[in-house]
Amino acid sequence: MNLTEMHADPDDTQRRLDEAVYAISGRMAGPPSVGLILGSGLGEFLNDLAGNTSVSYADIPNFPRSTVVGHAGNLIFNRIGTMTFAALQGRVHYYEGYSIREVVFPVRVLARLGVGKLIITNAAGGINRTFQPGDLMLIADHINLMGANPLTGQNLEALGPRFPDMSEAYSRKFRELARAVAEEKRIGLQEGVYVGLAGPSYETPAEIRMLAALGADAVGMSTVPEVIAGRHAGIAVLGVSCITNMAAGILDRKLDHAEVMETTVRVKDKFAGLVRGLLDRLAAGAEV
């Protein structure tokens, strides 16, 4: 590799992607068309499906591994009818100390494998006062306040354009499909703007008042980098937040990770029903 080439890919992303994809491709039945990123405690429902191929992140070269309780680390391959999918059970966060490019490495692997549609889930604090813990929120749009962007640095043209459009970060058709599935299954679905912060400390009440004034309905510490990398790769994205708690200062109580985990456990069947319904519709040929 000469100096110009090194500069073009400072993290050696292309080679690291090649290695990861090479290790995985022998283990999947066919290339996945749909990807899922299942956050804190939300990934387990897939374990009940017959025919899963599960690949531990530990067995995928260059794959970042989560240090957070509640985040498994498996890449699951399966199909519903002829619709193939790949699900990331667990993700890594920027606050764990990974670089913002490492955080999106798994999304780039999915893109390389052929994923064209991506369903991203997360846990978030509710800023909108009409929300309640346990609600699901369709992400209509996001605000990036992480202080970082995974596309910073020389652009890798093979992965996507220098200046990707973000005017429909969360696919309109995909959201229409999610609303239809929720209605059919009688699952309540809020909709709003997700603001991504670096964390890991929760926000102060003053910060939450500021975020409310900026137009945010929910706050969390993930998703935004993954959506940016997904859009860069031309993937249609759907995002769903589980409102696990009301954001700081809204109720007269402290926030803790145990409450977040408790709520995800409480709503996981509802969440799984929505995601499963989406997969079934995609398998039946729904366009997004």
Name the residues annotated as catalytic. 40, 71, 93, 95-96, 123, 221-222, 245, 257
Stretch that binds ligand HPA, among 132-140, 171-179, 223-231, 243-251 (CB under 6 A): 243-251
Q: Which residue is nearest to ligand HPA (CB)?
A: 125
Residue 257 C-beta: closest distance to ligand HPA, Å? 8
CA 147, 148, 154, 160: dihedral to nearest 10 degrees? -130
* Closer to ligand HPA by Cβ: residue 220 or 273: 220
Query: What mask, x for binding ligand HPA by CB under 6 A, covers residues 118 to 137?
Result: -----xxx------------
Q: Return the residue of 211, 260, 278, 282 that touches ligand HPA, per CB under 6 A.
A: 260
Integer Cα distance of 154 and 150 in angstroms? 11
* Closer to ligand HPA by Cβ: residue 84 or 223: 223
Stretch that binds ligand HPA, among 23-31, 128-136, 214-222, 269-277 (CB under 6 A): 214-222
> 170 by DSSP, 3-state: which?
coil
Around 251, how many Cα atoms within 13 Å sit in the side-chain half-sphere? 14
Number of residues engaging ligand HPA in binding (CB under 6 A): 13
Residue 103 C-beta: closest distance to ligand HPA, Å? 15
Backbone angles phi, psi at 143, to 5 degrees: -125, 125
Integer Cα distance of 283 and 49 in angstroms? 15
Select from 11, 3, 31, 25 the least CA-distant residue to 159.
11
> 149 by DSSP, 3-state: which?
coil
Q: Return the residue of 46, 255, 267, 282 that touches ligand HPA, per CB under 6 A.
A: 255
* Closer to ligand HPA by Cβ: residue 86 or 208: 208
Confirm or reject binding of residue 220 to ligand HPA (CB under 6 A): yes
Terminal-residue alpha carbon distance, the chain:
40
Report the run of H or E that residue 191 belongs to, with start and end: strand 190-197
Residue with tokens 């985040």: 71
| Site residues for ligand HPA per CB under 6 A | 123-125, 202-203, 219-221, 244-245, 247, 255, 260
